[in-house]
Amino acid sequence: MRVWLVALAFAVSAGCVTRVPLATDYDGPSAWPADAITTESDAGTLPLVANAEHEADRRHFTVRQLGLAPSADDPSRSIEFEYYDVEGESRTPVVVLLPIFNGQLIVTRYFARYFANQGWAAVVVVRGRDAIDGLDTPNETIRANLSDYQRVLDWVEDEPELDAGQIGLFGISFGAIDAVMLTALDDRIDALVVAMAGGDLPYVMMNTRYRPVARTVDDLLTDQGMTRDALRAALVGRIATDPLALAPYVDASKVLMIMTRTDVIVPFKAQEALRVRMGSPETLYLPTGHRPSVVYFPKLRSSAYEFFARQFAASRVAVAAN
């Protein structure tokens, strides 16, 4: 009975989803200026070593727990991820899924299993840094995370079972924020699907109702004796690597955004600002907030799959034409 009620609720609410196509006047991403923000992986100086520790067999794929060698900026910590290795010997498209803020894998695994069951490989990145600790040095933490993600892309590019010409990137919430910035910085991403991503990180940090972040902000205000306006101004000066700054360099024709109209964790104002800054890509608007959006996850995963399939097909045509 409970499953039936959930299905009925989803069927009723599905009609409330609004889809908006890519803006008709979009003329492509901005070219990188000479002094633009950049970040690079250290693949050229460190070996890409993957060691299987645990494996779990599923009907159509095997989940392998892998780890890359420690990075140069943090020699004590490796980069861990789960590789959803699908059946067959032919090279397959791959979707890389970035971690949410608290690092729990239940959400990213839900989507990864779906992609793997459709015959695509998936890579679920495990968060290696405590995101709350990183709020003291936000720009450094952001850049370190992006460098780690680029090393995962290096591994994908080097893995003979995977088609490096068909790489999708998927993120939800704070994972989506990272995904936007990574796509701007790395041209290996062929398609991007992000849910509840927002721009202007100082604004998001000062206005979110996500308790761990809100409590940390309150502690900073108390410890430093600052007003909220002063703290936001300080954050603006300390965070140069921001999705709002990088959004113009993302090709909006390769992006599907999912936005939540009543969100108080990643405020809708920040989501809409990012969408406009990016060039108004194809968008699904949900009538919910952040956590209630879970009722739409079945629709989101099928929409993400359809979008990735469309972009991968376009990528194959482009390669064949060249």
- Note the pLDDT tens digit of each residue in 200-209: 999 999 999 9
| Helix/strand/coil for 58 | coil
Superfamily classification of domain 48-321: Alpha/Beta hydrolase fold, catalytic domain (3.40.50.1820)
Element (H, E) at 110: helix 106-117
Which strand ranges, in their side-by-side order, compose the sheet holding 55-57?
18-20, 282-286, 255-260, 191-195, 162-172, 92-97, 121-125, 79-86, 61-68, 55-57
At 247-262, the pLDDT tens digits run 999 999 999 999 999 9
Q: What is the pLDDT of residues 189-228, one digit of tens each?
A: 999 999 999 999 999 999 999 998 999 899 888 988 889 9
321 or 25, greater pLDDT: 25
Round to whole Å and give the CA distance between 6 and 279: 36
Q: Give 41-45's long-range contacts (Cβ < 8 A, gap of 24+).
A: 41/147, 41/150, 41/151, 41/153, 41/154, 42/71, 42/72, 42/73, 42/147, 42/151, 43/150, 43/151, 43/154, 45/72
CA dist 180 and 198 (Å) reads 9
Check residue 319 and give its pLDDT: 61
* The predicted structure's pLDDT at residue 114: 97
pLDDT band at 82 (very low <50, low <70, confident <90, very high): very high
8 Å CB contact between 221 and 231: yes
